Structure 1
């Protein structure tokens, strides 16, 4: 069964990690990549592409699941290709974020911490769904990948199927997701402020 306090601390941990990254970026400078190089352009391009893909995927996944996250088993649409698309697209979004900040140290440390926390969260949530839905969820596990989508399995929803959603929760997902796109612009602004010495550079990160 999902432990609510665990989920609460998981969200708190994610927010603290993001806050820590912001603080580091405000007081440090990244000289890993020449801003006029092809590599810098490639990191910006692919970083934003991953970021945008993650945002769109999270919204797509949320529209299917909000309002019936545990009481109704969703197995069509994006949930027909993997069991945890929200987490998959969150990882895609984070990869884009790490490409954009261009720091090996921040990216590696953050990814290790997230890989420690999130698999446990996924297991807790799947254990709860297995307890609620029993054999139905067991069958779903057997034919659907846990995290990496297999789009050959894609099953469209019925054309006359209506989706009931919790608008407030979807709004939260939209704000959270597009906040990462805003953060992309803030990273560029912070870099510029370091260049013109508005922000202090206490150390260099790699």
Structure 2
């Protein structure tokens, strides 16, 4: 039997119920602190003091912003879809259906899209690439730590799952789902609230752009 067949459509639960080790929890918390620190000390000042090299109001500037907003919307929809399937069971069950059938880390993937979208919503391709690269470098190592934990927790099934499911970029041709899923409304609303920040940043960035045009904020750097 090949690895893909081993992951049947209904194989969502592994009998062992575990909790992440304290060390992994500390790593996850530390990563969140790093992201908050980078956002406060690097990304926010960059947004406030830099502007797009593309002409404000021009077609290219508008197109970049639109793509960024679409990525932010995709981030919200994608993260909510992931929560529908995983519903707080990340450490207790090996979820291999829905978004988790096409990517081992769809929550991180959609957050990456949203982070790239933030830079693009500022009208800058360079900002989008920089934001995305920073996010990837910070979280790729965390993902590998989490996968080591999952490999130890689910030794009989995680290897087969990894063999046929990409770590980051979804492979839509291998999508599998189930007839029913259990929804936890509180977790779903929390995810919607947190992910919506990506979309709500659009009016904030537009306000910064307006303040720069009114010369209330200096533009020290023009980014392509």
1:22 match: 44
Matched-pair contact (CA < 8 Å) for 1:43–1:102: yes
Q: CA deviation at 1:66?
A: 2.4
1:156 match: 177
2:92 match: 71
Q: Give runs of ≥4 in structure 1 deviating > 6 Å.
A: none
Matched-pair contact (CA < 8 Å) for 2:103–2:166: yes
CA RMSD of aligned residues (A): 2.0
2:78 match: 57
2:213 pairs with 1:195: yes
Does the residue aligned with 1:64 lie in a helix, a strand or coil?
Answer: helix
1:125 match: 146
Among 159, 168, 172, the residue aligned to 2:190: 172
Structure 1 range deviating more: 80-89 or 2-11: 2-11
Q: Give the whole-Å Cα distance in 2 for the aligned partners of 1:146 and 1:51.
A: 21
Structure 1 range deviating more: 45-54 or 113-122: 113-122
Gaps of 5+ in 2: 1-20
What's the TM-score, normalizing by structure 1? 0.88
What's the TM-score, normalizing by structure 2? 0.81
Q: CA deviation at 1:57?
A: 0.6
Does the residue aligned with 1:186 lie in a helix, a strand or coil?
Answer: helix
Equivalenced residue count is: 201
Matched-pair contact (CA < 8 Å) for 2:94–2:154: yes
Distance 1:137 1:118, change over 3 A: same
Q: CA deviation at 1:131?
A: 1.0
Gaps of 5+ in 1: none
Distance 1:87 1:70, change over 3 A: same
